[in-house]
Amino acid sequence: ALALNTVAQTGPYVPTADNLAARKKFQELKFGLFIHWGIYSILGAGEWVMYEKKIPYDSYKRLAGFFNPQEFNAKEWVQFAKKAGMKYITITSRHHDGFSMFGTKMSPYNIVDATPYHKDPLMELAKECEKEGIELHFYYSLLDWGRPDYAFGSPIVDGKPQNGDWDSYIKFMKDQLTELITQYPAVKGIWFDGHWERKNANWHYDEIYGLIHKLNPAILVGNNHHLEPIEGEDFQMFEKDLPGANTTGFSGESKIGKLPLETCETINNSWGFNITDRSFKSSKQIIHYLVNAAGRDANFLLNIGPMPNGKIQSEFTDTLAIVGNWMQKNGESVYNTRGSSMPPQPWGVMTANGKTLYAHVTTSPAQAYIFIPQMKEKVTKAVLLNGGTAVKFKQQPEGVFIYTNGLAMDPVDTIVKLTVN
Ligand code: JFZ
């Protein structure tokens, strides 16, 4: 009896019906806006600037005194995301520099108490998201470059104790997460990061995830740990990588699990605002990333780093307006779809919504056709999504040939809409 009891108490995480519904909803959103914004944005050299430039913590902290984003307007950000066709926002509530971008009672090192701005932009954003039907996730860093209770030495904080007070640090995180989950409307998820720095630390995930789900069972927990999902998580993320592609090595260790998937990438090469980074991705590259994620059954979370004044640079708004126009025309082949059972092909990927399938031809085929292997259902109709032109096809036991010769191919994505029974 004792053994059974023990099992019952520490048994596997069982997501509630609300949580499962939230996962399903999340999978249908498909396209989200990732935002890295903090006091580091002032220096315009990315969110790792403290570490990379070896700025001592006490000096770095002075940036808070200059952070005054007078032009921040939550409405503008949410409209920017909506116009781009995005359905959710994931924003840094606290990054590795340890600065809280929200009004926390757990540390004075936060935007309300330590900056001349004295306001809580995440509260504004949460209210606006709730109003506009945009889901909100909070990025939350597990690793902290400054707190003395974070139990590991830091290369930049001289004299920091190597054995902090780990219990105190874990409690601090739990208290902040409680604030984020109970005080902000619209918050639907927590996006953890920083695990990879201390892979062998005891992060107390059982307690942390347990607390989150106790406070709100529908909250979706994800963690950028580059491992297979850990007990208590609700979605699996891939950083700068498509699930199964393993191109960057960041997620090379992680096999695809059974949870909803999300892949994140940034619009240039930086997450936080970077004044010298002009390697902007084109609208075509972004659309291809989004379509490739959807075809692999994953959401795409595209990052931007807003400027320290609270504005979003025009290169980003221009590009994303084009992406938004594309989504307006072609959104039915992305939103609410799931990846099809067909693995990615040389010509592209497929998405599925019930009896409707979408072949996304993102690379024009060398032959006069594309081939869809192993199609079990019978194709009854094939048309171009744009304009409805009938497309010739031939179904064989080994798959379906879709004849693309003579079709007006779209340089971004030629979408063939198939009806199956
Ligand atoms: C992490 C953060 O460090 C980064 O600032 C940003 O927030 C991004 C979304 O997530 O990036 C990582 C994560 C892991 C490694 C490197 C960067 N890693 O394992 O080497």
Encode pLDDT of 280-331 as tens digits.
999 999 999 999 999 999 999 999 999 999 999 999 999 999 999 999 999 9
- What separation in Å is there between the alpha carbon of 209 and the centre of ligand 1? 21
Long-range contacts made by residues 240-248, C-beta under 8 angstroms, separation at least 24?
240/264, 240/265, 240/266, 242/289, 242/292, 242/293, 242/296, 242/298, 243/293, 243/296, 243/297, 243/298, 244/296, 245/296
List Cβ neighbours of 257 (8 Å cut-off, separation of 6 or more).
228, 229, 236
- What separation in Å is there between the alpha carbon of 55 and the centre of ligand 1? 19
Out of 232-236, 239-243, 338-342, give the one with best mean pLDDT.
232-236
- The neighbouring-strand residues paired with 238 are 263
- Asked if 102 contacts 179 with a C-beta cutoff of 8 angstroms, the reply is yes
Mean pLDDT confidence for 48-67: 95
Mean pLDDT confidence for 1-27: 75
> From the CB of 271, is ligand 1 less than 6 Å away?
yes
> From the CB of 34, is ligand 1 less than 6 Å away?
no
CA dist., res. 397 & res. 356, Å (int): 20
Q: Which atom, in ligand 1's list, is nearest to the CA of 47?
A: 5
Residue 231 has pLDDT above 80, yes or no: yes
More confident residue, 5 or 249: 249
DSSP three-state, residue 135? strand
> From the CB of 193, is ligand 1 less than 6 Å away?
yes
What pLDDT, on the 0 to 100 scale, is given for residue 199? 81
For the chain, give the mean pLDDT: 92
What residue's CA is closest to ligand 1, atom 3? 194
In 84-179, which ranges are E strands?
88-94, 135-141
State pLDDT tens for residues 174-211.
999 999 999 999 899 999 999 988 888 899 999 999 99
- What separation in Å is there between the alpha carbon of 114 and the centre of ligand 1? 26
For residue 360, the tally of other CB atoms under 10 A from its CB is: 28
Helical pair 166-183 and 205-215, crossing angle rounded to 10 deg: 20
What pLDDT, on the 0 to 100 scale, is given for residue 69? 98
For strands 399-403 and 393-396, give the pairing.
Answer: antiparallel
What pLDDT, on the 0 to 100 scale, is given for residue 356? 98
Helical pair 74-83 and 121-132, crossing angle rounded to 10 deg: 40
> From the CB of 135, is ligand 1 less than 6 Å away?
no
Residue 9 has pLDDT above 70, yes or no: no
Q: Determine which of 18-32, 150-164, 175-189 has the lowest per-residue pLDDT on average.
A: 150-164
Q: Determine which of 75-89, 125-139, 364-378 has the lowest per-residue pLDDT on average.
A: 364-378
Mutation test residue for ligand 1: of 33, 139, 140, 239, the one with most atoms within 8 Å of CB = 239
- What separation in Å is there between the alpha carbon of 239 and the centre of ligand 1? 8
Residue 63 has pLDDT above 70, yes or no: yes
- What separation in Å is there between the alpha carbon of 226 and the centre of ligand 1? 10
What pLDDT, on the 0 to 100 scale, is given for residue 240? 73
| Structure token digits, residue 168 | 């105190």
Q: How confident is the model at residue 251 (pLDDT cuts 50, 70, 90)?
A: low
ipTM value for the complex: 0.94
Residue 52 has pLDDT above 50, yes or no: yes
- Asked if 297 contacts 339 with a C-beta cutoff of 8 angstroms, the reply is yes
- Asked if 350 contacts 358 with a C-beta cutoff of 8 angstroms, the reply is yes
- What separation in Å is there between the alpha carbon of 361 and the centre of ligand 1? 32
> From the CB of 250, is ligand 1 less than 6 Å away?
yes
> All domains of the chain, ordered by start, with CATH?
2-337 (3.20.20.80), 340-420 (2.60.40.1180)
Residue 405 has pLDDT above 50, yes or no: yes
Q: Which atom, in ligand 1's list, is nearest to the CA of 34?
A: 9
Residue 214 has pLDDT above 70, yes or no: yes
> By C-alpha distance, which of 82, 174, 74, 176 is closest to 120?
74
Residue 4 has pLDDT above 50, yes or no: no
- What separation in Å is there between the alpha carbon of 225 and the centre of ligand 1? 9
Alpha carbon separation from 91 to 77, 139, 180, 187, 304 (Å, rounded): 11, 6, 12, 11, 10
What pLDDT, on the 0 to 100 scale, is given for residue 198? 82
Mutation test residue for ligand 1: of 193, 253, 254, 268, the one with most atoms within 8 Å of CB = 193
Residue 353 has pLDDT above 80, yes or no: yes
Which residue has tokens 């874990």?
A: 170
> From the CB of 371, is ligand 1 less than 6 Å away?
no
Residue 10 has pLDDT above 60, yes or no: no
pLDDT > 90 in the chain, percent: 81
- What separation in Å is there between the alpha carbon of 299 and the centre of ligand 1? 18
State pLDDT tens for residues 36-50.
999 999 999 999 999
Mean pLDDT confidence for 60-65: 97
Residue 112 has pLDDT above 70, yes or no: yes
- Tell me the pTM: 0.94
Helical pair 314-330 and 74-83, crossing angle rounded to 10 deg: 50
Mean pLDDT confidence for 77-97: 98
Residue 252 has pLDDT above 90, yes or no: no
pLDDT > 70 in the chain, percent: 92
Mutation test residue for ligand 1: of 271, 273, 301, 302, the one with most atoms within 8 Å of CB = 271
Q: Which atom, in ligand 1's list, is nearest to the CA of 197?
A: 19
- What separation in Å is there between the alpha carbon of 216 and the centre of ligand 1? 27
